C-alpha cells in the first residue's frame, strides 16, 4: 500500500472520531475486546481480526484504495511500547 | 531455537528480514518485554528496506504519553519459519516485543556475553 495523501495525524483524527461516534458501540462486545479493527476512514467500512496485518489486508482486498485507521477494541491504544494499555470498555 | 547474546545488560537477538528477490538482511534487536508488539525499527531502516506501509496506530509510551506512529509490514525468519508481522517505524534501536515471544520460552543469562535463548515451551 502506498502512503496516503493525508498525514498520519489527520488519519488518526478522522479515524478516532469515526470510531468513537459511529462504530465503537456496534463492535465493543465481549468477544471482540482486545482484537484489532481496521477502518476505512472514507467509507466507514471495517474489518476485525486478532492480527493487525490480516485485518488491514482483508479491508484492502475489498477496497484497494482504503485509507486505514486501526484501533484495539476496548483499549486506548493498539500497542504499549514501555507503557500500559488502558482498558476503556466496561 | 533462536540464540542471542547479552550486550551491555541488554538481551539482543538478530532478526532476519526476508525481501522478495533481494538479499536477506540481519538486524540486531533488543528484547523488550515492556513492548507488547512484534518489532520496532527506526524509520530510516524501514525506508531503506522498502517495507510496505500499512496504517498509522496509537502507541502508549513509558512516560504515559501517546504517539501516532506508522505501521509497516515485514516478512521475517523466526525459528526457521517465515512470518508476516507489523513493524512500528519508531525509535533509534530496533526492539523485539512480547507478541513475537508469545508461546515461546525466553531465557537470559544476564552477564556480559551471556546467552539469550528463545525456545519452545516444554
Contacts of A64 (CB under 8 A, 6+ apart): none
CATH number of the domain encompassing residue B71: 2.40.70.10
- Domain boundaries in chain A? 8-73
Q: Searching chain A, which residue's CA lies closest to the CA of residue B65?
A: A83
Q: Among A3, A52, A82, whose Cβ lies nearest the Cβ of B53?
A: A3
Q: How far apart are CA A64 and CA B7, in angstroms?
A: 44
Predicted confidence at residue A2, as pLDDT, reads 75
C-alpha grid cell for residue A40? 476505512
Average pLDDT score, chain B = 96
Predicted confidence at residue A4, as pLDDT, reads 86
Contacts of B29 (CB under 8 A, 6+ apart): B12, B13, B14, B15, B39, B93, B94, B95, B96
Angle of CA points A73, A78, A84, to nearest 5°: 105
Low-confidence ranges of chain A (pLDDT < 50): none
Q: How far apart are CA B54 and CA A35, in angstroms?
A: 17
Q: How many domains does chain B have?
A: 1
A39's enclosing H/E stretch is strand A36-40
Q: Which residues of A touch B (CB under 8 A)?
A: 1-3, 8-9, 11-12, 38, 52-53, 56, 68-71, 76-86
Partner A contacted by B35 (CB < 8 A): yes
Within 13 Å of residue A80, how many CA atoms lie on the same side as its CB? Answer: 17
Tens of pLDDT, residue by residue over A55-71, are 999 999 999 999 999 99
Question: Which range of residues forms the domain containing residue B6?
Answer: 2-120
Q: Searching chain B, which residue's CA lies closest to the CA of residue A59?
A: B54
Predicted TM-score (pTM) of the model is 0.94
**Whether the Cβ atoms of residue B66 and residue B58 lie closer than 8 Å to each other:** yes
The pLDDT of B15-43, averaged and rounded, is 96
Amino acid at each position: 500500500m502506498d502512503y496516503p495523501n493525508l498525514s498520519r495525524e489527520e488519519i488518526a483524527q478522522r479515524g478516532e472520531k469515526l470510531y468513537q461516534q459511529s462504530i465503537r458501540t456496534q463492535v465493543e462486545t465481549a468477544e471482540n475486546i482486545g482484537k484489532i479493527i481496521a477502518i476505512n476512514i472514507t467509507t466507514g467500512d471495517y474489518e476485525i481480526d486478532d492480527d493487525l496485518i490480516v485485518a488491514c489486508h482483508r479491508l484492502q482486498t475489498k477496497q484497494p484504495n482504503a485509507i486505514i485507521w486501526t484501533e484495539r477494541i476496548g483499549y486506548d491504544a493498539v500497542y504499549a511500547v514501555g507503557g500500559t494499555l488502558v482498558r476503556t470498555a466496561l | 531455537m533462536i540464540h542471542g547474546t547479552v550486550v551491555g545488560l541488554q538481551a539482543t537477538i538478530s532478526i532476519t528480514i526476508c525481501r522478495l528477490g533481494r538479499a536477506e538482511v540481519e538486524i540486531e534487536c533488543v528484547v523488550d518485554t515492556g513492548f507488547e508488539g512484534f518489532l520496532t525499527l527506526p524509520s530510516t531502516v524501514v525506508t531503506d528496506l522498502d517495507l510496505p506501509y500499512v496504517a498509522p496506530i496509537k502507541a502508549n509510551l513509558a512516560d504515559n504519553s501517546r504517539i501516532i506512529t506508522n505501521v509497516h509490514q515485514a516478512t521475517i525468519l523466526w525459528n526457521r519459519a517465515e512470518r508476516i508481522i507489523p513493524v512500528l517505524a519508531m525509535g533509534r534501536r530496533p526492539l523485539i516485543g512480547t507478541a513475537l515471544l508469545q508461546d515461546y520460552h525466553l531465557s537470559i543469562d544476564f552477564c556480559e556475553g551471556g546467552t539469550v535463548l528463545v525456545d519452545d515451551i516444554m
